Amino acid sequence: MIDRLSCALGVLYIVALVPLCRAQTPAPPGAPPTATNKTAASNSPSRPTLLTVITVTGEPLAVSLAPASASIVDDEQIRSAHTITSVDIMRTIPTLYLAQNGSLGSLSTVTIRGGKPNLVLVMIDGIPADDLSNLLGGAFDFSTLLVHDVERIEVVSGPLSSGYGSEAVSGVINVITKPTHYESNVLAGVEAGSFGGGGLNLGAEGLQGRLGYKLSGSFLRMGEQVESDAFSTNNFSLASDYSHSLSTIVSWTARWIQLDRSGFPEGGGGPELSILRIPKTSNSGNMLSGFLVQHRVNNIWTTSINADLFTRGEHAYTPAILDSPHPSPASQPSTDTRTRFTRSRVALQNVFDLHPRLKSHLNLRGADEFGKNNTLIEGVYPTHFRDNRGTSDISADLVYSTPTMTGMIALGIDKTSGFNVQLAPRVGAAVSAGKRTILKASWGRAFKVPSLYALGNPNVGNPNLRPEEINGMDVGGEHQFGQRVSLAATYYYNLFSDLIDFSAISFRLVNRTQVRTQGVETTASFNATRGIQVNAWGAFLNWKVKSSSEPLRNQPGWNSGFTIEAPLPKSLRASSTTIWVGRRYDFQVPAPTVTSVGGFSATNLVLGYYGLKHTSIYARTDNLFNTKFHEYLGFPNPGISTEIGITYRLH
């Protein structure tokens, strides 16, 4: 039955993407290399869009001239993907790798250029969203984030502690939600799909005098996909801003993220290898809030005061993980864990327009971090820790920008309680070499202060841990061939040192690992006739772990993919994405002699209908040709799934 269904969907896939359709409006002559043609998901003609990135310097810069390796997922790409969670969006970003520990809703983390998941700083509207009190050490779980109110996602690769402090080691991911558009609007959508899945999203925005507001909420529930892996999550947000005058703006935002899930525990062999058939259960709640007052003092100086708060609580029960029916000491006992982490920050940010081509940023930040962890082992042995520390940092940069080049120099100075002062320099440049070629290069140093869990856990924690560090550089370029084809490639080299690892001899976390990673990231885009657009990417990673026999786990040597979009007659639009991932090293307690997991590919197909004035309808099919594959040993993907949805917008 599955084979027949796959064949039928394969025919639909080919038929949907091949028809000849109306021509796309070409970019105007002389358009900059950053301009890309995007066919809007509506009846309106497409128009060139200049992509910008703000995460590099805090100022909008054309992404091609940003002095760093950056990838952007904009609002149109998010809408045309017709996906509920951020997981499917993150998979298509060329400069990172997303690993999902089983079915949809399971732990989903990202890595950049071979760094660990907790070396990537994830922010939501500029607010750090990493939890330093649990065993993940600060890694963000993307299964918790729904995308209905996400405007864009910016991914900047490379060391960025010069502007963002600790955690910004491998790179920064900034999730930016939709702004208030100062017009009355109501949005409602509903989705339903395989495995008893269902979703609901609501949104409203408007303007009352000088006060703009936006409210949004989304909910997703999924039933059992493989075995004992149901989950539900919801996101609620409120944002508002007030224009006191042309020179002063006040804004604030708040977001709540809730997740409840069950599934086989990480490292336990999954549904195929686990000896105990008891699922892990967890529920967590995240709250982010921020307040900003921005004032333009004069034509040179703009200053702002920014305060934000992130707090997260989690309760998780993990059953015992056995290495055999007659367990040895290598087995892991059950744990019942409750954690709470809170980070509050205050920042004074200044922008100086020193010259039409020269800007400077000077930021001063102070933060307080509090975390506690209470764990009951085997239902008998209690352990706990409770810690608090303060951090302060100052960062400054100079950015010189013209229509043909951008250069920057930056320095961050950080002091965290209990650690020495950390310096984080960075330099970068992007230069136009001819009308259609841009060359880039950057270098930086970054650090990550040990998490509260790594320092304070009574079983494996080590209060003498040193900060993890990186020295990294990249160099690359992009070239546009006419108005239809563009190619880009970047070579990078990173040297991670003092990485925190677990020592079986001393049975605690230690600084010992040094890792060298290098590789190449490539992207290509092709705007074909009749409105068909193809984007492709590939990433290749080579690594060496020094002073250790352990391999670099959960990091594929290569991954690649392509997306094709095509407008169809009668207000239809089709898109499809295929990804390929190479073999990875893995470790599961019940199968210690099996050290790697094979590569896989996955394809989806999305059809959207936009012929109605206020309503859009879509259908999405995932894992079109590959009904069973593994990202981790023993954790099979649930296979082919379908989803349909409808969205109504009042205006």
Say yes or no to pLDDT of 23 above 70. Answer: no
pLDDT digits (tens, 9 = 90+) for 365-404: 999 999 999 999 999 999 999 999 999 999 999 999 999 9
pLDDT digits (tens, 9 = 90+) for 92-126: 998 899 999 989 999 999 999 999 999 999 999 99
Residue 3 phi, psi (nearest 5) = -65, -40
Say yes or no to pLDDT of 27 above 90. Answer: no
Model confidence at 24, pLDDT cuts 50, 70, 90, reads: very low
Model confidence at 181, pLDDT cuts 50, 70, 90, reads: low
Which comes out higher in pLDDT, residue 38 or 190? Answer: 190
Query: C-alpha distances in angstroms, 521 versus 95, 147, 160, 485?
Result: 7, 26, 19, 17
pLDDT digits (tens, 9 = 90+) for 461-479: 999 999 999 999 999 999 9
pLDDT digits (tens, 9 = 90+) for 260-312: 999 999 999 999 999 999 999 999 999 999 999 999 999 999 999 999 999 99
Number of domains the chain contains: 1
Mean pLDDT (whole number) for 439-457 = 96
pLDDT digits (tens, 9 = 90+) for 584-639: 999 999 998 999 999 999 999 999 998 888 899 999 999 988 767 899 999 999 98
**Above pLDDT 90, what percent of the chain?**
73
Query: What integer pLDDT is reported at residue 207 of this predicted model?
Result: 84
First-residue to last-residue Cα distance in the chain: 43
Predicted TM-score (pTM) of this structure: 0.91
Sign of CA dihedral 441, 516, 523, 59: negative
Average pLDDT of the residues of the chain:
88
Establish how many alpha carbons lie within 13 A of residue 17's alpha carbon, considering only the half-sphere containing its beta carbon: 18
- CATH code, domain with 519: 2.40.170.20
Say yes or no to pLDDT of 46 above 80. Answer: no
CA distance 585 to 551: 7
In 3D, which of 253, 345, 348 has the Cα closest to residue 295? 348
Written as one string, the DSSP assignment of 435-447 is: SSEEEEEEEEEEE
Nearby residues of 452 by Cβ (< 8 Å), 6 or more positions away: 132, 133, 341, 369, 371, 373, 385, 387, 389
Domain, as residue range, for 221: 2-649
What is the total residue count of the chain? 651
CB 33 within 8 A of CB 430: no
